[in-house]
Structures are given as C-alpha cells and as structure tokens.
A and B are shown apart, each in its own frame.
Chain A
Amino acid sequence: MSDAIDGLCVTRAGPLALLQDAGRCGVRRLGVTQGGPADQHGWAWANHLVGNAWGTPALEVTFGGLELVAERALVVAVAGADLAATLDGEPLPGWRSLAIKAGQRLAFDTPVNGLRAYLAVAGGFSAPPVLGSVSCVVREGLGGHDGQGQRLVEGDRLRVTPCRAGSGRERAGEAPPQEAIDYRQPAVLSLLPGAQVGEFSGESLYRAFNMPWRVDDRADRMGVRLAGPPLHCRVTSMISEGIGLGAVQVPPDGQPIALLNDRQTIGGYPRLGALTPLACSRLAQCLPGQEVRLKAVPSERALDEYRRFRRTFA
C-alpha cells in the first residue's frame, strides 16, 4: 500500500466500474455483505494473466463506457466480457496480457459478448482495505479505490503496486481458448438443491429444471431475477436466516432470484438451492433477455469442478 504509485487515470466514467478483490470475510454476522467479483472466473483469469496471486484487486467494468489513460508503463490483461475494448482506438485482445505505455488510452465501449470485463494490472491495483477487503460495495459505502464504496468517476486515479522486475512471476500471458467463454450461448447453471426443495410442488420442480428461464432486467450485483412460469412452494415465508452466495430464493410471486455477491446477508424466502460459484460467474455475464437453464448437480461433482478451477490459480 505505502509504495503504491499512480497507474491509470479515469478520463470517462462508464455506468459502473468497481475495484474487487476476493471479497470481505468474517463480517457477515454484522450485516456486511460479501462483495467480490460477480464473475470470479473472468476476474481470476485477468489477474493470472499478469502474474498476480489469487485475491489481487482488479477492476470490474460493467456494460463498458469507461476510458482510462495509463500514467506509466504497465502490463495489463482484460478477461471476462468482450466490451469492445480498445487501446488508442485499436481493438484490444482479451484473455491475454499486454504491455502498455504511459499515455496510452484504454477504452471499454459496449457489450459484445458478456456483461462484465475484468482489467488487471501486473502487481495489482492498490487501495485501502476496509474491514479487511478492498471490494467495493456501493450500497454499504465500503471499499473501492477510495475506501468509501464509490464507483469510478472521471478524474479518479487508480494506484497500483509496483511489479518487481525479475520476480519470476511472469507467466505465459494467454488463456487457453476454452476459457474464453461465449457468454451469448444459452447458459446451463449448476445448482445444489437446498433444504426446502421438497416443499415445491412436483410440477414446479419439473418446470424449474426443465424449462428455460429468461434473465430479467432486474439484475445487479445483489441478485438476478429469472422470469418464467411461477413456481409454487408450500412455504411462503420463513424466519430470516443466513444466505449463501448463489442461493436461489423464490418469493411468493414464484419468480426465482439468484443472489449474488452484494446480496443481503439474511433473508426469509424459501430456496430451491444454491448455484455453484462457477454458475454464479456464468450468470453474472448474462444480459437481460438471455435464456438460462437450471441443472441440479451433486455436490461432489460441483466440488471437483471448483477445485479443478482453483488449482489453475494456486
């Protein structure tokens, strides 16, 4: 933190750009949400491609519209969504690291494929940790580049931790092609059934797992509403209890809501279960109107898949 230096200056603010590390831990009992990257997969790859360790702060750019100017030479990588990023007006390739020079202009335009792009710089962005994390949660006013939970605005400066040359952490800076997901394809979201799954009617369960759901435009970092024929649950409300990442709650209107990183810590609606972390990542890249399907999976298989994913970044 103390040796942080200026890295990038915001010359145009898009709708939403937030600094995210792995999220805030140990304070959910105080009503403080988790935060962290909505698409952990894209975020992890951006960091990995520039040699950063898991958990290094990177920038989550939603929708695009952001323009930054480098204040010094940097090694950067963009992963996750293709938001038609350019470097000095030329298309900027995603899913690989590249060196940029002081004065170069990095711009994100509009979504081409996916919704959230991740920009990482070698060494990592530097910001004051708040409650143990720099993850930016606007609703709570916590974290982010200034510690106050603010989205980036024009004139903001992003500081970076200098990268030690010859530290031996340089990596082959290109992701295997299969990691660059085509988010425009219909998504199949793995879900671990929860304790109330038996309270839903048989017909509702059939529909939940066999019919397509449409991503509603009521979607943000708190949760994504899925639209389709209403699901019926015998339980309509419960005493509020802790809610994990990816929990799919079904309020009385029967339209499921998948709860993401900035969800409230407790809630009282019955749940179908919980999306796996990688299913949350995938959903976070869906645009309103896109079709998704829910697929029940056993936890052993989901755990294998997640541990395989994490091994890349160990």
Chain B
Amino acid sequence: MSGPFPKGLPRLEPAGLDGCLVRLFDAIDEANMPWLTALVRDCEAAFGDRLIDLVPSYTTLLVIFDPLRLSPAEARQRLSELLARLTPDEETSYAPVKELPVWYDASVGPELGRLAELAGMSRDEVIACHSERDYRVFALGFAPGFAFMGSVDARLEAPRLDTPRRRVPAGSVAVAGRQTSAYPAVTPGGWNLIGRTPAVLFDRDREGFSLLQVGDRVRFVPIERAEFERLGGDSRPMEEAR
C-alpha cells in the first residue's frame, strides 16, 4: 500500500448487512479528497450493478452493495483489492474552481456582525477573508446538495448558534466551526449566516442534480444587491424569503 495514509489505515469496517466503511484517513484535510474520489471511481467500475450507493465524507467512504449478490466478506475482498492499487484522482486535484456569487449583507446574513466581533475585524474584512480563498467540498449531507466545505480562516471560526433557527432561507451562506456552506433549500439550521447566493444549489431537473460535488473546489465571489437580484436571488429579509 502506497499513499499518505496514517498508521493502521486504510481499514475496512463493518457497516451492516449491505455496507462496508473504508476508513482512509483520520483527520480532515483537503489532500484526502483526490484519494476519496479515486476510490469512488474505482468502486463504480469494480462493483458494477452490485453497487447500490456510495457516501464519501471527509476521511471515509461508505460502500453500499446489493446483499443478494454480494456478502459483506466478498465486498471486503473486492475493496482490499481496490485499495492495494489505489492512486489519487488527478481530476479532483486540479479541478477548475466553481464560483458561487454571494451578496454579503446583514439583512440576509444576520451573523455577519457576530463573526466580525469574534474575529476583531470589520464586516468588510470578514467578507474579504471569507471570499479570498478556495474551499474544498468534503462531503454532502444534512439536506440534498448541502456541501460541507473547508476550511475557513481560523479567525472566522465560530460556534453554531445556541438555538438553531427553525427556518433558514434557501441560498443562505453560512459558517460553523471552520466549515462553510450554502443552504440549498429552506430548512432548520444552526449555522452563522453571513450572506446569500442566488445560485440554485440543488435542482432535480439538472444533470448531476447538485451544483457542488464531493472533491470540488469552490470560491465565494462577493456581489452587490443589484447583481444578486439580477441573478434571480431573493433579497427579502430572513422571515419573508423563500
């Protein structure tokens, strides 16, 4: 086994009658992602129609297979073979950056002030700090198309709200801990909201459905309100927005 894996890894762990969890790494790092997306690709090829689903996330890949046609032991055997010749996915390493336009404003991002206070920065500095770097999509979860991205600048690290909102408008751009995301649809949520994107993050009629995929590189691009509205964004404040 070559590769940058910590001691004792990769490891195959039981995950029910139809699953096996491949643990590749033990810490969050964007360098993990080309290895994870490579394993996704290899599993699709090697399992074929015995594969039911795959859930890559940060450090692991959950492989769900058809238990009528593969036993957990057989799945482990196949995965061991794949891991022995795993090489990182160059496409993920050098993927073009996807840009997400964001209108950063307290009316749609009520925690912009909280982050500024915590960081000892002005609001404009918070915006600059959030939008100046590329993020990596580590996982999708919580809701369809909700991408967990990192890592935000340590100065912007902010704990989740003590009481989650019952209703976060679609497109809300948010920070929690050192992660950032954008809410694809109206859901409850406890992250710090700092702005809103007009981008449609999840669309059942689009190929691939989700704008963001695991392994993607993403950059937030500040835009003004007029541009946000021109791009179809809903500029109504928190309670009224869809």
Contacts and interface: CB of A to CB of B under 8 A. Distances in A.
Interface of A: 25-32, 34, 130-131, 139-142, 192-195, 239-247, 264-267, 273-277, 299-300, 302-303, 306-307, 310
Contact of A307 (B57, B68, B140, B145): B68
Contact of B139 (A25, A246, A266, A310): A266
B204 interface: yes
Chain B's interface size range is 35 or more
B15 interface: yes
A29 B33 CA distance: 14
Given A241-B58, A299-B72, A30 B140 contact: yes
Nearest to B12: A195
Interface in B121-175: 139-146, 148
A140 B17 contact: no
A31 B185 CA distance: 12
A31 B204 contact: no
B185 A141 contact: yes
5 contacts: A30-B213, A195-B15, A240-B57, A266-B141, A302-B17
A242 B14 contact: no
Contacts of A192: 14, 16-17
Given A30-B209, A266-B141, A245 B16 contact: yes
Contact of A28 (B53, B60, B148): B53
Contacts of A27: 53, 144, 209
B61 A242 contact: yes
A244 B140 contact: no
Contacts, number: 138
Which 6 pairs of residues, A with B, have the shortest CB-CB distance?
A: A242-B62, A242-B55, A274-B16, A195-B13, A266-B141, A31-B140
A149 to B, nearest CB: 10
A273 B146 contact: no
B52 interface: yes
A201 B64 CA distance: 29
A246 B64 CA distance: 13
A26 B14 contact: no
A29 B55 contact: yes
Given A244-B16, A274-B16, 15 more contacts: A25-B52, A28-B54, A28-B55, A29-B140, A29-B213, A30-B140, A30-B144, A31-B142, A142-B144, A142-B204, A192-B14, A240-B57, A241-B58, A266-B141, A303-B17
Contacts of B16: 192, 244-247, 273-276
B58 A244 contact: no
B192 interface: no
B56 A29 contact: yes
A274 B13 CA distance: 12
A274 B17 contact: yes
A242 B185 CA distance: 21
Contact of A241 (B40, B54, B62): B62
B182 interface: no
A277 B17 contact: yes
B59 interface: yes
Contact of B60 (A26, A241, A276, A300): A241
Given A29-B140, A130-B204, A140-B143, A195 B14 contact: yes
Contact of A30 (B17, B40, B73, B145): B145
A241 B210 contact: no
A310 B18 CA distance: 14
A276 B72 CA distance: 13
B67 to A, nearest CB: 6
A303 B71 contact: yes
Contacts of B23: 195, 241
A132 B120 CA distance: 48
Contacts of A246: 16
Interface in B45-93: 52-62, 64, 67-68, 71-73
Contacts of B17: 192, 274, 276-277, 299, 302-303, 306
Contacts of B55: 28-29, 241-243, 265-266
B78 to A, nearest CB: 16
B214 interface: yes
A175 to B, nearest CB: 21
B21 interface: yes
A292 B227 CA distance: 57
B209 A131 contact: yes
Interface string B1-43: 0000000000001111111010100011000000000001000
B233 to A, nearest CB: 20
B14 to A, nearest CB: 6
Contacts of A273: 14, 16
Contacts of A300: 71
A306 B55 CA distance: 23
